Structure 1
Amino acid sequence: MSERRTAVDLIWWLILIGFSISILFPLIWILYQSLKTNREFFQDVWQLPEVWKWLNYAKAWDKFHVGTAVLNTVYYVGLSLIISLTLTSLNAYALTRIQFKGRKLIWGVIMLSLFLPGLTALIPQYVLMRELNLTNSLTGLVILDSFGESAFYLLLLGGFMQSLPKELEEGAFMDGASLYRVFLQIIVPLSMPGIVTVAIFKFLELYNNFLGPFIYLSDQSKYTMAVNMYHANSTMQYSADWVTLFAGVLITMAPSVLCYIWFQRSIMEGATLGAVKG
């Protein structure tokens, strides 16, 4: 039985290693392509560079206006993350810890929204944003992504808050604490693992968001990182400076990859704990 289990474990290890290689190989390939010259790239895409061209990254930063895109992304992602995380925490607390009429109906509508594809709201959202003069505006994107509540994040954070003992709030209310104070000083600290998990997921989603900025932003000076690299890729049919493009792609990927590497334990532990408690 132990030998059979060991053989099965070995098979699973081989599958996981193969899956990991399939993910890492493209990244490694892009890395050493970004350190070549264009002549070396077109001569042989598999050959290692003769001299490591680290200046390709500086060239990509200037040529593709990466600095401007970084500032736009920081503004869009940072402000959207703060506002949406605050609203998600408040909504999760209200729907899991406060008893009021219509609470079950609201939860039912939220659950129903899980079955609706997001693309169905694309046209109404665009018409509304256009009528409010919020197109081609990073602030408009912040408003759109901050106030559009996600049922997944609400359910995840609600699972944390719902598991907390009710006696904590009752004792605080008996001591004269207000609802605002109970939320900030009791619920938020105890729900911090869930809040951190939601914050990481939201950051990755906002940073990698392409469709929204691509649709609503028409001014190149307002492009986020994702749209900026798409625009850079579209110019390759005229310049064919692929090694510089690869360098720009790696610069764009770095924040999200580093974020996942640093917080992968929090992501796995938080998501698992939320699933158990929910």
Structure 2
Amino acid sequence: MKTNENTIVDWIWRIVLFGWALTIIVPLLWVIYESLKTNQEFFADVWALPKIWAWENYKNAWVSYELGSTMLNTLYYVGVSLLLGTFLTTINAYALVRLQFSGRKLIWSMIMLSLFLPGINALVPQYILMRDLHLLNSLTGLIILDSLGESVFFLMLLGGFMQSLPKELEESAYMDGASLFQTFLKIIVPLSMPGIVTVAIFKFLGLYNNFLGPFIYLSDASKHTIGVKMYHANQIMQYKSDMVTLFAGVTIAMLPTLIIYILFQRKIVEGATLGAVKG
């Protein structure tokens, strides 16, 4: 018989999780209210609330850091990479999980082996390849690199979800005359949508927060994404003391990820849990 009484262990876990949540929420709130101060207020007391809400800091950040063009670069890079990368992950997971062909187990073994290789090891070969293909200093080249670079985590997540689907669905489609691609597009993709949405959200967060790739491959400042732009804005603070404008820029930069997470947090949990349980 179930009971609703909370044990001491339950309360301890709640306190731990509450403390963990505070370590995430408090810094975010601190950055936001620092962005609404004047520089004099900031250097006088970093913990005090602003006396006058300095909303002009956001306008100054938008103009001085050229966030308009930077956001367009980021939108192009993230948007195209997200669509192309999610499609390739979906079709790769389908081929490796649902189709039977010689060498499939070997391919999976090689993919699993890559888990033990730090991603930084591929940096030099990737750079040489990008240079030889004349794709350096190009957002399109960066999109190609990130889209074709498959993630083992996404393959395992989506593959585990697809593996739970009944095989009879495909067999029925084949008997009705459907081709392989029609079966994939009209049956597997709709049924796997919770897993695909989960992968897409994780990909978006990873692409939007990607710093190393754009920093290394994009030398032209006019092509920088939001992560690289804010890095350079932070470097400028070594020579000037306009910290509140920097905080305003950071707040603008983190808004898209916060909005995406707030809107789709249930999808993330449901998709990840469902894939783990069914897989």
Normalising to structure 2: TM-score of the pair? 0.97
Aligned to 1:53: 54
Question: 1: distance between equivalents of 2:18 and 2:161?
Answer: 34
Deviations 1:94-128 (CA, angstroms, capped at 9, x unpaired): 11111111111111111111111100100000011
> SS at the partner of 1:53?
coil
Q: Does 1:121 align with 2:122?
A: yes
Aligned to 1:163: 164
Instruction: Give how far 1:29 is off.
Output: 1.0
> Superposed, which structure 2 residues align to 1:205-220 within 5 Å?
205-220=206-221
Question: 1: distance between equivalents of 2:88 and 2:6?
Answer: 48
- How many residue pairs get matched? 277
Unaligned 5+ segments in structure 2 are: none
Aligned to 1:78: 79
Question: 1: distance between equivalents of 2:39 and 2:269?
Answer: 41
Question: 2: distance between equivalents of 1:248 and 1:17?
Answer: 28
Instruction: Give how far 1:18 is off.
Output: 1.3
> Superposed, which structure 2 residues align to 1:180-219 within 5 Å?
180-219=181-220
User: What's the C-alpha RMSD, in Å, of the aligned pairs?
Assistant: 1.3
AA partner of residue 48 (structure 2): Q
Q: Does 1:35 align with 2:36?
A: yes
AA partner of residue 273 (structure 1): L
AA partner of residue 23 (structure 2): S
> SS at the partner of 2:238?
helix
AA partner of residue 224 (structure 1): T
> SS at the partner of 1:156?
helix
AA partner of residue 93 (structure 1): Y
**Identity fraction in percent:** 68
Deviations 1:25-83 (CA, angstroms, capped at 9, x unpaired): 11111111110111111111112111100111111000101111100000000000111
> Superposed, which structure 2 residues align to 1:109-148 within 5 Å?
109-148=110-149
Question: 2: distance between equivalents of 1:98 and 1:131?
Answer: 35
Question: 2: distance between equivalents of 1:161 and 1:46?
Answer: 50
Instruction: Give how far 1:8 is off.
Output: 2.3
Aligned to 1:12: 13
AA partner of residue 119 (structure 2): G
Question: 1: distance between equivalents of 2:260 and 2:130?
Answer: 31
Normalising to structure 1: TM-score of the pair? 0.97
> SS at the partner of 2:156?
helix
Question: 2: distance between equivalents of 1:38 and 1:68?
Answer: 26
In structure 2, relative to structure 1, the CA distance for the partners of 1:244 and 1:185 (3 Å cut) is same
Question: 2: distance between equivalents of 1:111 and 1:262?
Answer: 32
Question: 2: distance between equivalents of 1:65 and 1:265?
Answer: 34
Aligned to 1:261: 262
